[in-house]
Amino acid sequence: MNWDDSHGEQAAELTGLAPELAGQGTADRLVGAEVDGEEQAIEAALRPKDLGEFVGQERVREQLDLVLRAARQRGGTADHVLLSGAPGLGKTTLSLIIAAEMAAPIRITSGPAIQHAGDLAAILSSLAEGEVLFLDEIHRMSRPAEEMLYMAMEDFRVDVIVGKGPGATAIPLELPPFTLVGATTRAGLLPPPLRDRFGFTGHMEFYAASELERVIHRSARLLDVEIEAPGATEIAGRSRGTPRIANRLLRRVRDYAQVKADGVITKDIASRALAVYDVDARGLDRLDRAVLTALLKLFGGGPVGLSTLAVAVGEERETVEEVAEPFLVREGLLARTPRGRVGTPAAWAHLGLTPPQGQRSGPQAGLFNG
Ligand SMILES: Nc1ncnc2c1ncn2[C@@H]1O[C@H](COP(=O)(O)OP(=O)(O)OP(=O)(O)O)[C@@H](O)[C@H]1O
Ligand SMILES: [Mg+2]
């Protein structure tokens, strides 16, 4: 396979899917999935092309390396692989790497794009031997397609239904051996029978700051941007453990360095640039801070219901719940309790606010029970 050719196609295909895959956040957010073509092309260009270039995720990388090496030695096709983890951690990147390491072509599609079992049958029956089928957002596939996939994964066979009604017949169709790579941000939503049919499951973790620094230095080299080590550290610390965000912030800081300075990214330039883009020292952006500020200032730290909180910041419930909250919860700034959302002592400290009398000495803790 010619990597560059196929990569262009893949980028186009992914762009086509973007609205479905994005499904999160407003367009001006720096952390959401991007729909902009040029940015996508840059993202594709920054993708590591083999396991050696892939930073971090030591466990997954080592395990996957063994799976692929063994398959290569046998001259066979690699077992089906499931990759799970938050957006932007490298699932798509790894799937492209799997194909590259196996010197196999790759077909890219996604759960939401497969409405009918017939759509899947068409894809499966046109696979070449050894081809990698990348199924993004696999948890969003329709039920009938899922059932067809079970058989395809296990027996490399599908039943194609011909005709309608009582006259319909199922024609079994042999498939060439292929490798399914499924990706999901919500592994918990996968039905167990599907999960069990994967020979290998890699769970992607958030990246350590030192790993993100390596990602940033690598990307800076590819973008031909000069960056000092403290500048990279500054960006890494605000990237929410996510390479996609690290790369995006790097590009915005590069813009600033180019327009406002001599193009070199220093610690000072990085922190001034990120202030312009409303990304604070901990990586919170405007929406995150709006949610926290409302929670603390308007509702005294909670508990307050999600809908009320969403109205207070003028956003959809889903945006607050799926875009802002996961990061705030992970950072220990916000807690979801049965009685509603609660700001933690760390949230008060982060925004430089003082909790109302009586909360300071710790009754907050009581809210976390149950
Ligand atoms: N381990 C890594 N080393 C270097 N760069 C990485 C790594 N993982 C991801 N990236 C970079 O982050 C960007 C996003 O990665 P990718 O698209 O693979 O994420 P994803 O897990 O598929 O996200 P989503 O769930 O939104 O589809 C890529 O452009 C890639 O350059
Ligand atoms: Mg992806």
Domains by residue range for the chain, with CATH: 30-203 (3.40.50.300), 209-276 (1.10.8.60), 286-369 (1.10.10.10)
Residue 6: per-residue pLDDT: 41
User: Which residues are known catalytic residues?
Assistant: 91-92, 136, 185, 244
Measured CA to CA, the distance from residue 176 to residue 154 in angstroms comes to 12
Q: Which residue has the tokens 């790894």?
A: 94
- Atom index in ligand 1 nearest the CA of residue 218 equals 4
Classified as helix, coil or strand, 136 is strand
Amino acid present at 22: A
- The 10s digit of each residue's pLDDT in 70-94 is 999 999 999 999 999 988 999 999 9
* 44 pLDDT above the threshold of 60: yes
124 is in an annotated binding site: no
Measured CA to CA, the distance from residue 28 to residue 250 in angstroms comes to 16
- Atom index in ligand 1 nearest the CA of residue 215 equals 4
- The 10s digit of each residue's pLDDT in 137-153 is 999 999 989 999 999 99
47 is in an annotated binding site: yes
Q: Of 146-160, 202-216, 318-332, 352-366, where does mean pLDDT reach its minimum?
A: 352-366
Q: Of 65-69, 101-105, 165-169, 354-358, where does mean pLDDT reach its minimum?
A: 354-358
Measured CA to CA, the distance from residue 32 to residue 18 in angstroms comes to 11
User: C-alpha angle with apex 50: 33 to 13, nearest 5 degrees?
Assistant: 40
244 is in an annotated binding site: yes
- Atom index in ligand 1 nearest the CA of residue 90 equals 18
Cβ(334)–Cβ(290) below 8 Å: no
CA of 7 to the centre of ligand 1 (A): 14
Q: What is the mean pLDDT of residues 280-305?
A: 93
Residue 359: per-residue pLDDT: 56
Point out the ligand nearest to the CA of residue 21. Answer: 1
CA of 209 to the centre of ligand 2 (A): 21
Residue among 92, 223, 248 whose CB has most ligand 1 atoms within 8 A, to mutate: 92
Average pLDDT across the chain, whole number: 86
- The 3-class secondary structure across 173-230, one letter per residue, is EECCCCEEEEEECCHHHCCHHHHHCCCEEEECCCCCHHHHHHHHHHHHHHHCCCECHH
Ramachandran category for residue 215: left, alpha or beta (phi over 0 → left; psi -120 to 50 → alpha): alpha
Task: Give the sign of the dihedral formed by CA 304, CA 310, CA 316, CA 318.
Answer: negative
Cβ(293)–Cβ(315) below 8 Å: no
156 is in an annotated binding site: yes
What confidence tier does 26 reach under pLDDT thresholds 50, 70, 90? Answer: very low
CA of 157 to the centre of ligand 2 (A): 27
- The 10s digit of each residue's pLDDT in 104-131 is 999 999 999 998 888 999 999 999 999 9
- The 10s digit of each residue's pLDDT in 150-206 is 999 999 999 888 888 888 888 889 999 999 999 998 888 889 989 999 999 999 999
Residues with CB under 6 Å of ligand 1 are 33, 43, 46-48, 54-57, 87-93, 185, 215, 243-244, 247
Better pLDDT: 96 or 319: 96
Point out the ligand nearest to the CA of residue 91. Answer: 1
Single pTM value for the model: 0.82
Residue from 307, 368, 310, 321 nearest 342 by CA: 368
Point out the ligand nearest to the CA of residue 58. Answer: 1
- Atom index in ligand 1 nearest the CA of residue 44 equals 29
CA of 122 to the centre of ligand 2 (A): 23
Residue 164: per-residue pLDDT: 83
% of the chain beyond a pLDDT of 90? 69
Residue from 147, 71, 100, 127 nearest 1 by CA: 100
